[in-house]
Structure 1
Amino acid sequence: MKAARFAWRRLEPLHSMVYFVPEARNRYTELGLQGRAGYFASRGAALGRASAELVIATFYNFCPDVVRGALPAAWDAVTPEQMLVARLAGAGEALRRAKIHELPGLDEIICLARRAAEAACEHPQGRPLFAAHAALPWPDEPILQLWHAQTLLREFRGDGHIAALLTEGVGPLDALVLHGASGLVPAAALKLSRAWPEEQWAATRERLHERGLLDGDVLSIEGSALRQHIEDRTDALALPAYGVLGEEGCERLAELADTFGRAVTDAGLLDRSGFLAALRASA
């Protein structure tokens, strides 16, 4: 299980950069969408003309009012098919900027990641956002095949993570406040990107204190234990994808992913400043 988690975490930058790079934002802007509208429409396009309620349900932790402010209005400007093309094009431009296509081991890492992603495709039940992306065709370009594979693995794991949160009674804003208290991501960045009103954030924080999950601004012992339990459960739910590789295959994928993930980071593709500035401008 540990090797599978390392494989996912180390390769995750190769997918998640699409939410931050200017190449993707520029493509959405050309179609008439900016800020969160571009994000909701591009990630939700695999679902078709997704309603706000469907995106609220599957994305889980965004303020519902913000989602409703973007959808379904975005579909008056673009089609889901246009957004899928734009997203893939933006991802490809960014990855080529990072010279991912020049890294040694590309063929091998594609083979491993795609095997895991295709194994996940045999288990779509209960994973709606993953299933929608799994129905998309595989790209022809190698670096986009790798991006698509990690996209599927991310959404497969993400749907499982939501199931684990629900099982433990951790709601959307609960999850964000606990995440911010973990110190892994600044709470200010989560507040800006997920756009919950400050009074709701404060009320949730107080409720989590009463549950014994927070100690001041950080996680309590109980809060840390709950987060770890949820992460462990999420890892277990992701095993139908990674199990096909076996321990040795997961270790090899993690080894290769370290190089590819670092290349994305070193090229600045995870720089959130432009993304956050766009959110502030569209607020």
Structure 2
Amino acid sequence: MSSETARKTWRTAEPIHAFIYFLPEAAAAYEALGPIGPRTGYFASRSAPMGAVPADVVVSTFYNFNPGLVRDAMNGAWDVASPAQWCATRLASVDAGLHRAWDGAVDTPEIRELAVLLRAAAEVACASPEGRPLFAGHASLAWPDEPHLVLWHAQSLLREFRGDGHIAALVTENLSGLEALVTHAGSGDVTAKILASSRAWPESDWNTAVESLRSRGICDAEGNLTTEGRAQRDRIEQRTDELATAPYLVLGEERCEKVRELARPLSKRIVDSGMLGFR
């Protein structure tokens, strides 16, 4: 099975995981835990499966955020709530969000079948956590019981498995977190303004990264990728796909196609509900 098939399968189901980052119910639930900063809920809830780790571990595993932003967000996060409480609050928010997106129909035959398929893929990933610290934390969590939550957890594991592999590919290409953002913007997929603001990078730091990449022939003075830069980005994306393919091999082409068939309408309803933003 090709890495392209695996990527298409992951991407089709990704909204089923990603909505949690933008869900108003989640933001309200995190704030109800105690006094927190504006980004604490995101960083603490996503890193909590690793335990009460220092802020610099979150800086490392989240890779492309301004370290100052992460340290401010994580300051006192484990005093407000334990990692287990953050995880439980996140999962309860997922439950509420999927009930809303799918009008309460969270135990249909289609959801059950999709949950079984993606759990099978995720369990393959769980057998190989080496070098994937954020994924390994999530893999240590107990599986939920309800089918819609099994589905969400499975897709979350596949997301974090892929994400840690992507970071490995970036490190191999000698790109810092900020430089990775600059090359992303340079590809034209997302604007520099959106990426810099969402990761809290000041213009001066961004410009320094552009100059560093320009001196290495990766982008021009405006931040646009050169031919060499586009070749590098293609290598990174190809390597990311290759590193994320193994879990889907257990499904094969036919069942991956079935995953996409089942996930497509469920993902569409999440998108149509307005739950997805940019992060």
Q: TM-score normalised by the shorter chain: which range applies?
A: over 0.9
% identical equivalent positions: 51
In structure 2, relative to structure 1, the CA distance for the partners of 1:153 and 1:31 (3 Å cut) is: same
Q: Name the structure 2 match of 1:47.
A: 50
CA offsets 1:124-171 (integer angstroms, 9 cap, x no match):
111111111001011112111111001100010111111111111111
Could you tell me which of 191, 195, 198 is aligned with 2:200? 195
Is structure 2 residue 218 aligned with structure 1 residue 235? no
In the alignment, structure 1 residue 249 sits paired with structure 2 residue 255 = yes
For the 8 Å contact 1:123–1:240, the answer to whether it is kept is: no
Q: Distance in 2 between matches of 1:254 and 1:4?
A: 10
For the 8 Å contact 2:162–2:244, the answer to whether it is kept is yes
Q: 1:265 aligns with which of 233, 258, 271?
A: 271
| Correspondence for 1:68 among 71, 75, 80 | 71
Gaps spanning 5+ residues in structure 1: where?
276-283
Q: CA–CA distance in 1 between the matches of 2:18 and 2:239?
A: 22
Aligned partners of 1:10 and 1:261 also within 8 Å: yes
Q: Distance in 1 between matches of 2:17 and 2:187?
A: 23
| Residue number in structure 2 paired with 1:101 | 106
Distance 1:122 1:271 in 2: 32
Q: Which residue of 1 aligns with 2:126?
A: 121
149-158 or 24-33, which deviates more = 24-33
User: What are the residue-to-residue correspondences of 1:1-283 with 2, within 5 Å?
Assistant: 1-32=3-34, 33-99=36-102, 101=106, 105-215=110-220, 216-272=222-278
Which range is displaced more, 170-179 or 67-76?
67-76
Using the alignment, how far apart are the partners of 1:46 and 1:196 within structure 2? Answer: 26
Tell me the amino acid that sits aligned with residue 138 of structure 2: H
- 3-state SS in 2 of match to 1:101: coil
* 61-70 or 213-222, larger mean C-alpha shift: 213-222
One-letter amino acid of the structure 2 residue matched with residue 172 of structure 1? G
Cα pair 1:14 1:150 within 8 Å, conserved = yes
Deviation at 1:243, TM superposition (A): 1.2
> Which amino acid letter does the alignment assign opposite residue 272 of structure 2?
D
1:263 maps to amino acid: R
Q: Structure 2: any 5+ residue segments left out of the alignment?
A: none
Offset at 1:256? Answer: 2.2
Q: How far apart are residue 244 of structure 1 and its match?
A: 0.9
Deviation at 1:271, TM superposition (A): 3.4
Query: Structure 1 residue runs of 4+, over 4 Å off?
Result: none
Distance (whole Å) between structure 2 residues aligned to residue 98 and residue 58 of structure 1: 30
Residue identity opposite 1:183 in structure 2: G
Deviations 1:91-144 (A, max 9, x none): 111111111627662122111111000010110111111111001011112111
Range moving further from structure 2, 243-252 or 227-236: 243-252
AA of the residue aligned to 1:143: H
Q: Which amino acid aligns with 1:7?
A: T
What is the deviation of 1:266? Answer: 0.7
TM superposition shift of 1:82: 1.1
Does the CA-based 8 Å contact 2:38-2:73 persist in structure 1?
Answer: no
Q: What is the distance in 1 between the residues matched to 2:223 and 2:262?
A: 37
* Deviation (angstroms), 1:217: 4.2
Structure-1-length-normalised TM-score: 0.91
Q: Counterparts of 1:247 and 1:211 in 2: how far apart (Å)?
A: 40
* TM-score calculated relative to the size of structure 2: 0.93
**1:251-283 Cα shifts (integer Å, max 9, x gaps):** 2212322222211111111035xx8xxxxxxxx
Kept in 2, the 8 Å contact 1:50–1:72? The answer is: no
Give the paired residue count.
273
